[in-house]
Chains A and B, each alone.
Chain A
Amino acid sequence: MSNYDQAYTDSGAKALIRNRSRPRDILDIIMTGISGACIALTVIPLFAVLFYVLLKGAARFNLALFTQLPPVAGQETGGIASAILGTIMVVLIATLIAVPFGVLAAIFLSEFSGGKVAQSIRFATNVMSGVPSIIAGVFAYSLIVLTVGQFSVMAGAIALAVLMLPTIVRTTDEALQIIPQDIRAASVGIGASNYQTVLQVVLPAAIPAILTGVTLAIARAAGETAPLLFTVVYTNNWPRGPFAPTLPSMAYLIYEFARGFDKTLQEFAWAASLVLVLLVLLTSVLSRWASGQSDY
């Protein structure tokens, strides 16, 4: 061994050789193992739910599911068409209420207010987004149902809208904030007024991100049961318009059918669950697609 080789192995270069027995390397391996296990624990329930719903729901997942009324006790065939339609109707009304209010509020928040006012409104929306859905139900019940003296789809839609609002305000606000100040200056700089700038430049640029927020809010509202418990009477029959006291809805149908003892009805509860899960999946995909359309 030459002197050079001797020096090479003895000096600092020796420390370069991998050595897994030092405490920090052992800790490294343990921590990696623990995080990996946690990932598995987190993902297993998610996939278990999806798998189970798919497995149980598939039995009734056919054309009849989307075209026929739910079976009455003893009947073997049917669908959940009325519930799907009812859910679509009540969520649609809720969206029509929540989107204009939410988007306009966010425009004010992002474009026309500043400092303490904006901060406190943002804080309030954050608090509101954490409010349990049953509170929204009680709110709509005491404010509308008790005042009007009857249950109504409209009351349910308003309760859902209250739940959707914070999500819409927050995502729209964030979407508007992302639009560079440059673009506003450019618009104002060629002689556009503030409202022209907001409506014709800033808002269109933010629409993909706003759509993302709206679809997420819709997905949440579609699966909500608690607000409808307080505001409408469940029925298996077709929905009868926005002011009727009765409404078929998927979430409530699942609740009603799943806790009974009728095996057929339980199958329909699973099928409805599958439809809801697919709906959430669809909206997630849609919202991902929408946010991919953004220029910023």
Chain B
Amino acid sequence: MMDYSKPTTNDTETVLQAENLDVFYGDFKAVRGVSLNIPKNKVTAFIGPSGCGKSTILRCFNRLNDLIPIFHLDGKIYYQNKNLYDPDVDPVEVRRRIGMVFQKPNPFPKSIYENIAYGVRVNGLAKTKEQMDEVVERSLRQAVLWDEVKDKLGQSGFALSGGQQQRLCIARTVAVNPDVVLMDEPCASLDPISTLSIEDLIHELKENYTIIIVTHNMQQASRVADMTAFYNAKAIEGGKRFGYLVEFNDTQSIFQNPQEESTQQYVSGRFG
């Protein structure tokens, strides 16, 4: 296995650095030996077949796996030179800095306005009603949703279409001013048109945020990502499988000139 924790591109700084990550569910080591650097203000895609651990790794970056009682992790993830898994790190603050957009749009059962305002409020980021209004509008504009919802901010978030809900979830994520936005197959439950609108949005967001996106869709990875990491799963005895990082490089190289045979096979659609 290659070590991709050395800087892969020289022109950007690294925002997140995974060092020799092993992920355990109970006693089982489900993901093994992942090391890679996530460059700042770029889109990094995680691709690979089901069960390769790409979503699991993604959720390590904002400590969302902490919610799973049997989860634990060996190795280190550095964010601004601080290991996120050090005992003195507050996972709640980690999640504010490293936001997440989920596979299925999951707006809160609240109004459109409150969907944004909730995160801002719990993090104490707005002091007055005016500030809150401002943050809500700015976030909805960033998610290219403002024009569609500005006259119905009081309506339930559930009243929106799937694509709009997902943009609402993106707006809610950027509203708390994160550095990094993790996206776990954000278009998996959307139609092609909504998917394109989310992809356009990702292009715009990378001006201000570092984005890591997990996707099953290789065209999507090639469209939106600057960097691509290919993960694969390896079967072991007892019918179990573990995931590992095969190759990490700029997207063009991964798709046109992969160094590993399994990457070549996967991106050309021959397995997975």
Assembled-state Cα–Cα distance A20/B183 (Å): 61
Assembled-state Cα–Cα distance A187/B108 (Å): 8
Q: Is the CB of A201 within 8 A of B108?
A: yes
Assembled-state Cα–Cα distance A261/B5 (Å): 93
- List which A162-216 residues lie within 8 A (CB) of chain B: 180, 182-193, 196, 200-201, 204-205
For the side of the interface on A, what is the size category?
20 to 34
For B176, the chain A residues whose CB sits under 8 A away are 190-191
For A182, the chain B residues whose CB sits under 8 A away are 102, 104, 106
Q: Is the CB of B95 within 8 A of A189?
A: yes
How many residues of chain B are within 8 Å of chain A by beta carbon?
A: 29
B109 CB contact (under 8 Å) in A114, A185, A193, A204: A204
A296 at the interface (CB under 8 A from B): yes
Q: A190-B119, A190-B173, A190-B176 are in contact. Are A185 and B92 (CB under 8 A)?
A: no
Instruction: State the Cβ distance, B160 to closest chain A Cβ, in Å.
Output: 13
B167 at the interface (CB under 8 A from A): no
- List which B92-118 residues lie within 8 A (CB) of chain A: 92-93, 95-97, 99-100, 102, 104, 106-110, 118
Interface code B111-148, partner A: CB below 8 Å = 1, 0 otherwise?
00000001100110000000000000000000000000
B119 CB contact (under 8 Å) in A114, A191, A204: A191
Q: Is the CB of A183 within 8 A of B119?
A: no
Instruction: State the Cβ distance, B79 to closest chain A Cβ, in Å.
Output: 14
For A196, the chain B residues whose CB sits under 8 A away are 122
Q: Is the CB of A183 within 8 A of B92?
A: no
For A187, the chain B residues whose CB sits under 8 A away are 108, 118
Q: Is the CB of B92 within 8 A of A191?
A: yes
Give the number of residue pairs across the A-B interface with Cβ within 8 Å.
77
For B106, the chain A residues whose CB sits under 8 A away are 180, 182-183, 185-186
What residue in chain A is nearest B175 (Cβ atoms)? A190
A10 at the interface (CB under 8 A from B): no
What residue in chain B is nearest A180 (Cβ atoms)? B106
For B107, the chain A residues whose CB sits under 8 A away are 186
Instruction: State the Cβ distance, B14 to closest chain A Cβ, in Å.
Output: 23
A188 CB contact (under 8 Å) in B93, B95, B104, B156: B95
For A200, the chain B residues whose CB sits under 8 A away are 118, 122
Q: Is the CB of A189 within 8 A of B62?
A: yes
Interface code B147-172, partner A: CB below 8 Å = 1, 0 otherwise?
00000000010100000000001001
For A204, the chain B residues whose CB sits under 8 A away are 109-110
Assembled-state Cα–Cα distance A223/B96 (Å): 51
Q: Is the CB of A114 within 8 A of B108?
A: no
Q: A114-B69, A190-B173 are in contact. Are A205 and B102 (CB under 8 A)?
A: no
A76 at the interface (CB under 8 A from B): no
Instruction: State the Cβ distance, A148 to closest chain B Cβ, in Å.
Output: 45
Q: A185-B64, A188-B64, A205-B109 are in contact. Are A193 and B92 (CB under 8 A)?
A: yes
For B169, the chain A residues whose CB sits under 8 A away are 186
Q: Is the CB of B109 within 8 A of A190?
A: no
Q: Is the CB of A295 within 8 A of B62?
A: no
B235 at the interface (CB under 8 A from A): no
Q: Is the CB of A295 within 8 A of B119?
A: no
Q: Is the CB of B109 within 8 A of A183?
A: yes
What residue in chain B is nearest A206 (Cβ atoms)? B109
Q: A114-B69, A186-B169 are in contact. Are A191 and B95 (CB under 8 A)?
A: yes
For B156, the chain A residues whose CB sits under 8 A away are 295
B67 at the interface (CB under 8 A from A): yes
Residue among A180, A191, A200, A204 with max Cβ neighbours from chain B (10 Å): A191
Task: Other than A189-B102, A190-B175, give 14 A-B pairs with Cβ distance below 8 A.
Answer: A114-B69, A180-B106, A185-B102, A186-B100, A188-B95, A189-B64, A190-B123, A191-B92, A191-B96, A192-B92, A200-B118, A201-B110, A295-B156, A295-B158
Q: Which 8 residue pairs are nearest across A and B when measured between Cβ atoms? A: A191-B96, A190-B119, A182-B106, A295-B109, A189-B100, A205-B109, A192-B122, A196-B122
Pick 18 A–B contacts, CB within 8 A, sort by A: A183-B108, A185-B67, A185-B100, A186-B100, A186-B106, A188-B92, A188-B95, A189-B62, A189-B95, A189-B100, A190-B176, A191-B97, A191-B119, A191-B123, A191-B176, A193-B122, A201-B108, A205-B109
Chain A residues engaging chain B, CB cutoff 8 angstroms: 114, 180, 182-193, 196, 200-201, 204-205, 295-296
